[in-house]
Amino acid sequence: MKKVTVLIVVAVLSCMVWLEGCKKDQIDPRSWRPVSFEVPKGWPQPAYTFANNPLTFDGFELGRKLFYDMRLSRDNTVSCGSCHQQVASFAHFDHDISHGIENRLGTRNSPMLANMAWNTSFFWDGGVNHLESQPIAPIQNHLEMDMTMPEVIDRLNADADYRSRFKKVFGIDTANSQRVFRSMAQFMAAMVSSNSKYDKYAANPGAGYFSEQEVRGLTLFRQHCASCHKEPLFSDFSFRNNGLLPKPGVNDSGRAHITGLAEDRYKFKVPSLRNIAVTRPYMHDGRVATLADVVEHYRSGVAAMATTDALVAGGVVMTENEKRDIISFLETLTDSTFITNPLFAEPAK
Ligand code: HEC
Ligand code: HEC
């Protein structure tokens, strides 16, 4: 597998040499290390390649600052990081539907944001197909951040620190939409999660990383779940109906909202299951509270609709023990190094 590595040593080294020049808002010296993007062994090539947006330490850091900056919302109360929290693998922990400014409620659950570089489309309905055009949606959404891009650009250009950061990354000391989106894409695309217990097991199945129960769970998972939640990313990035009845009053038609096709009704993007134990609640509207309830849904809750996927139609036959085995396997997908990596955390003010 071709390895793409970008080592940004210059920025880190100059920071170490000119210690006094390092401001507080740069990363903790103990965690200094190059920002890099590597395709983990055995993974497919990503959809996002940095070809037109070379990954640099300063670009990543600018994207990180923007991601956590509440000034991207009209009343300065909400950042991307408000709904996408690192502790929850960048989902919104314990929130079923999104809460924007003034506590305005959306209709969908915040997805987690690991391994975005491999996604071929974004949002539950795939309404956006490029990582660099994604942030405009929450920024301009009335229920989320309720800003306009010109207002965001004005705020950033009034800030000397942002101006010097844009200069470092793009050679020009002014923000525009493309530079904002490209730096955010650098931050989000570099968020790779590939260090779970499952990854260690998969790299070396004989080394005893899995208990017998976890091995049984993986076997059952491959039998019942992996055609849609495909390894190693745990999604095939297709749109499917897994048998959740539309909520009255909301009636979210999913993929059909974008394509207008009856055959796409109630189909949603197959979500990755990486870090699934920390991203509850589950499904596009957060209606399912626990992993046990998710597995029970596949056993006894799959509704028969015109578009219900044949792979789950009629329910998946499982015993109580098999359910527990699958849950114990799902728990091996947590990558604690990802959810605690200081590189992805909110920068110190
Ligand atoms: C008010 C909560 C909220 C805020 C603020 C927010 N998001 Fe989201 N985010 C969501 C929800 C909800 C979805 C799913 C939307 C949908 O499917 O229609 C989402 C989806 C996404 C996705 C697509 C993930 C996938 O798997 O398809 C990305 C990437 C993302 N957000 C990044 C951002 C960025 C960058 C910002 C800041 C500019 C941001 N979000 C601000 C709630 C939020
Ligand atoms: C036919 C394809 C398909 C199969 C087979 C399938 N799933 Fe899913 N899964 C989906 C889709 C689509 C969603 C999102 C549905 C929604 O939110 O409306 C989903 C959602 C989930 C979620 C919630 C993820 C989140 O971030 O909210 C979990 C957990 C899950 N599935 C686990 C499983 C398990 C375990 C199995 C096997 C027992 C399985 N799935 C089988 C398509 C599938």
Domains of the chain in start order, with CATH, are 9-193+339-344 (1.10.760.10), 197-333 (1.10.760.10)
Burial category of 135 from C-beta neighbours within 10 Å (exposed 0-12, middle 13-18, buried 19 and up): buried
pLDDT digits (tens, 9 = 90+) for 161-217: 999 999 999 999 999 999 999 999 999 999 999 999 999 999 999 999 999 999 999
Q: Which ligand is located closest to the Cα atom of residue 258? A: 1
Ligand 2: centre distance to CA 269 (Å): 9
Q: What does the pLDDT read at residue 275? A: 98
Kindly indicate the confidence band of residue 5, based on its pLDDT and cuts at 50, 70 and 90. very low
- Mean pLDDT score, 255-260: 96
Which tokens hold the place of 210? 């899995």
Contact 63, 183 (CB under 8 A): yes
Burial category of 43 from C-beta neighbours within 10 Å (exposed 0-12, middle 13-18, buried 19 and up): middle
Contact 73, 111 (CB under 8 A): no
pLDDT beyond 70 at 1 = no
Q: Could you count the other beta carbons within 10 Å of the beta carbon of residue 344?
A: 21
Count of CA atoms in the C-beta half-sphere (13 A) of 317:
0
Please give the number of the atom of ligand 2 that sits closest to the Cα of 330.
Answer: 35
Rg (CA), the chain: 21
- The residues lining ligand 1, judged by C-beta closer than 6 Å to any ligand atom, are 67, 72, 78, 80, 82-84, 98-100, 106, 108, 110-111, 113, 116, 119, 122-124, 134-135, 138-139, 144-145, 184, 188
pLDDT digits (tens, 9 = 90+) for 80-111: 999 999 999 999 998 999 889 888 999 999 99
Residue owning the nearest CA to atom 20 of ligand 2: 283
Percent of the chain with pLDDT over 90: 86
CA proximity to 23, closest of 219, 204, 202, 160: 160
Q: What does the pLDDT read at residue 16? A: 40
Q: Is the peptide bond before 347 cis (omega within 30 degrees of 0)?
A: no
Contact 104, 278 (CB under 8 A): no
Q: What does the pLDDT read at residue 11? A: 37
- Apex 89 CA angle, 117 and 272, nearest 5: 55
Q: Which ligand is located closest to the Cα atom of residue 97? A: 1
pLDDT digits (tens, 9 = 90+) for 103-141: 899 999 999 999 999 999 999 999 999 999 999 999 999
Q: Which ligand is located closest to the Cα atom of residue 88? A: 2
pLDDT digits (tens, 9 = 90+) for 20-69: 334 444 444 444 457 889 999 999 999 999 999 999 999 999 999 999 99
Answer whether 156 contacts ligand 2 (Cβ < 6 A): no
CA proximity to 162, closest of 33, 54, 72, 56: 72
* pTM (two decimals): 0.91
Measured distance CA(79)–CA(63) in Å, rounded: 12
Q: What does the pLDDT read at residue 33? A: 56
Q: What does the pLDDT read at residue 171? A: 96
Please give the number of the atom of ligand 2 that sits closest to the Cα of 316.
Answer: 38
Contact 129, 307 (CB under 8 A): no
- Mean pLDDT score, 316-335: 98
Residue owning the nearest CA to atom 28 of ligand 2: 294
- Apex 39 CA angle, 217 and 276, nearest 5: 35
Residue type, 248: P
pLDDT digits (tens, 9 = 90+) for 276-300: 999 999 999 999 999 999 999 999 9
Contact 299, 224 (CB under 8 A): no
pLDDT digits (tens, 9 = 90+) for 298-315: 999 999 999 999 999 999
Q: What does the pLDDT read at residue 7? A: 38
Answer whether 312 contacts ligand 2 (Cβ < 6 A): yes
Query: Chain-wide mean pLDDT for the chain?
Result: 91
Ligand 1: centre distance to CA 124 (Å): 10
Answer whether 298 contacts ligand 2 (Cβ < 6 A): yes
pLDDT beyond 70 at 330 = yes
Which tokens hold the place of 3? 């390895």
Measured distance CA(314)–CA(300) in Å, rounded: 8
Ligand 2: centre distance to CA 271 (Å): 7
- Mean pLDDT score, 257-278: 98
- Say which residue the tokens 């002014």 belong to: 174
Residue type, 167: K
Ligand 2: centre distance to CA 134 (Å): 23
Q: Which ligand is located closest to the Cα atom of residue 218? A: 2
Residue owning the nearest CA to atom 6 of ligand 2: 225
Contact 124, 286 (CB under 8 A): no
Beta-carbon contacts of 90 under 8 Å, excluding residues fewer than 6 positions away, are: 84, 112, 113, 114, 191
Measured distance CA(254)–CA(240) in Å, rounded: 9
Q: What does the pLDDT read at residue 40? A: 96
- Apex 327 CA angle, 323 and 331, nearest 5: 170
Residue owning the nearest CA to atom 3 of ligand 2: 228
The more confidently predicted of residues 339 and 10 is: 339
Answer whether 224 contacts ligand 2 (Cβ < 6 A): yes
Q: What does the pLDDT read at residue 348? A: 87
